[in-house]
Amino acid sequence: EPQLVINNKDFKFFRENNDTKIKTKWSSLTFDDKLTIPIGPRNINIDRENYFRWGFAYDKQKYDGVSVYRSFDPLFFGKNKNTQFDFLGKFNIQRFLSGKTKSFSSENEDILGDKIEQDANFLDYFGIDAGLKSSIGDWDFILEAETNSVDFDKLDKSLEGKSYLTKNIYLKNDNNYFASGDLAFFGTFREKTNNGSLGEILVNNSYGVLYDLEIFKNEKNTNVTRNISLGYGKYESPSRINSKNLISKQRSNFSLKQKNEYVLWQPESERFLTDDYIYSPSVINQGFFWLIEGNADFLRYEDGNKQDVILIKTGPKLVLGSFKKDYLDYTEIQLYPRFKFNRGNSPFSFDQVVDSSVVEFNIKQQLYKALAVNFSGDFNLENNNLEDNFINPTIEISFNRRAYNIGLFYNFDNQEGGINFDIYSFNFSGLGRNF
């Protein structure tokens, strides 16, 4: 039986600019013939990613808690409709209810000042996400911007953005081999990066150029991923020595990475979905796997500082169960000890090597029928305080069906959470009976 039905009123199906589209005046979702949720008028592009209009998110640091958002249909411009503009509006519920905000420093402080509680005005209740994508010949331009307040007096503290101008200059695709090389010019404004136990660190602005080559291939039960990147840019970010001091330096980097995943044991399984797959959109790839990863990074800074970093990561991945039965029929465990060896220091804190000995972990377990729990993060082996050993611990409780997935997640370090909702019906390329 179908698990998800999209009900449409005044349904139209058409082709436009090589895209397949569905347009309705009103739509609703029916889950397992039990629950129906209205989703309003819809313009669904089957060939592109689609988003629902309404949603909730939780971010204690940026939005003071719960916010509700509404996305709008993308706008297309240009002769060939090759420029797309996306817009999403947010309403900060907890900020509105309390009339207070702790997401900004005081008026006289800069972006690195301590955030304090202060009165929120009407414009602080709203936020905006906007994006622009365009093709310029063989180049692709991407611009993304976000604000957690539309108060222009706080714009220097609320606006975040990044942009890329990219071009693919190498592409090769054989049966078991895929390689892609991209050249990109980038620019960012108040982008935050996560550096392990140091938490989120602001990169106030950066710009530069990057070449990235990725290679994927399969060799006799071994999946191999290689990455080579070369970059140069100028960065403004807090100093490693004084986190309240912004410094600006040029940086060049050269990086080599290889990851091998070996199949040590794998039982026989179906090639295609069968009618007893009611909790998974794909055949479960069971087995015992072993990962070996090595990275070498060489960073040079204009003030003479340098970092040479070697990373080694290895460990098991175990997947048991087919997610068909009602109890404990799916278990996934990933445990990857990771060790870093570095020579030298960075003038910045955002790319300074920390957490030299950790264990990356990811554990997912089916509990009952469609309900599963997932816990992931890093465990720091260098810290003697058990409470501070976990880095970016994240928990997710999910409701899994063949046609859709609903997940409630929360990151304890960043104090961020939300709901993920995925539909697997579009672009399904497997085999099965029609209904």
Give 31-40 pLDDT, tens digit per residue: 999 999 888 8
| pLDDT reading at 180 higher than 60 | yes
Helices assigned H by DSSP within 120-176:
155-158
E-state strands within 65-173? 65-71, 75-77, 83-92, 100-101, 118-119, 126-136, 139-147, 159-173
Q: Under 8 Å CB-to-CB from 172, ≥6 apart: which residues?
A: 178, 179, 180
Q: Which of 290, 295, 392, 389 is closest to 340 using CA atoms?
A: 295
Lowest mean pLDDT among 49-58, 230-239, 260-269, 323-332: 49-58
d(CA 410, CA 391): 13
- Please give the pLDDT value at position 431: 56
Number of H helices, E strands in the chain: 3, 25
Strands 100-101 and 83-92: unpaired
- Please give the pLDDT value at position 404: 92
The pair phi, psi for residue 219, each rounded to 5°, is -135, 100
For residue 23, name the pLDDT band (cuts at 50, 70, 90): confident
Lowest mean pLDDT among 51-65, 90-104, 152-166, 168-182: 51-65
CA 269 to each of CA 37, 48, 284, 285, 286: distance values in angstroms, whole numbers, following the listed order: 36, 31, 8, 8, 8
The letter for the amino acid at 150 is: V
371 strand-pairing partners: 368, 399
Q: Which of 393, 304, 383 is closest to 345 using CA atoms?
A: 304
For residue 435, name the pLDDT band (cuts at 50, 70, 90): very low
Residue with tokens 């997710």: 396
Buried b / exposed e over 106-143, threshold 16 CB at 10 Å, is eeeeeeeeeeeeeebeeebbbbbbeebbbeeeeebeeb
| Mean local confidence (pLDDT), 403-413 | 93
For residue 47, name the pLDDT band (cuts at 50, 70, 90): low
Selection from 38-42, 173-177, 352-356 with the highest mean pLDDT: 352-356
Q: Under 8 Å CB-to-CB from 286, ≥6 apart: which residues?
A: 266, 267, 269, 319, 320, 321, 322
Lowest mean pLDDT among 257-261, 342-346, 412-416: 412-416
| Mean local confidence (pLDDT), 182-189 | 98
Assess contact for 216 and 224: CB atoms under 8 A. yes
Q: Which of 63, 90, 73, 88 is closest to 23 using CA atoms?
A: 73
| Mean local confidence (pLDDT), 138-142 | 95
What is the residue-wise DSSP string for 359-394? Answer: EEEEEEEEEETTEEEEEEEEEESS-S-GGG-EEEEE
SS3 309: strand
255 strand-pairing partners: 229, 297
Cβ burial of 176 (10 Å; 0-12, 13-18, 19+) is exposed
SS3 152: helix
| Mean local confidence (pLDDT), 164-189 | 95
Q: Under 8 Å CB-to-CB from 407, ≥6 apart: which residues?
A: 396, 397, 398, 399, 419, 420, 421
| pLDDT reading at 103 higher than 50 | yes
| pLDDT reading at 399 higher than 80 | yes
Lowest mean pLDDT among 42-51, 112-121, 230-239, 273-282: 42-51
Q: Considering Cα of 269, then 293, then 254, then 382, what sign does the dihedral take?
A: positive
pTM: 0.85
Condensed to tens digits (0 to 9), the pLDDT of residues 326-336 reads 999 999 999 99
Strands 416-423 and 83-92: unpaired
| pLDDT reading at 424 higher than 90 | no
| pLDDT reading at 428 higher than 80 | no
- Please give the pLDDT value at position 145: 97
C-alpha of 391 from chain center = 17
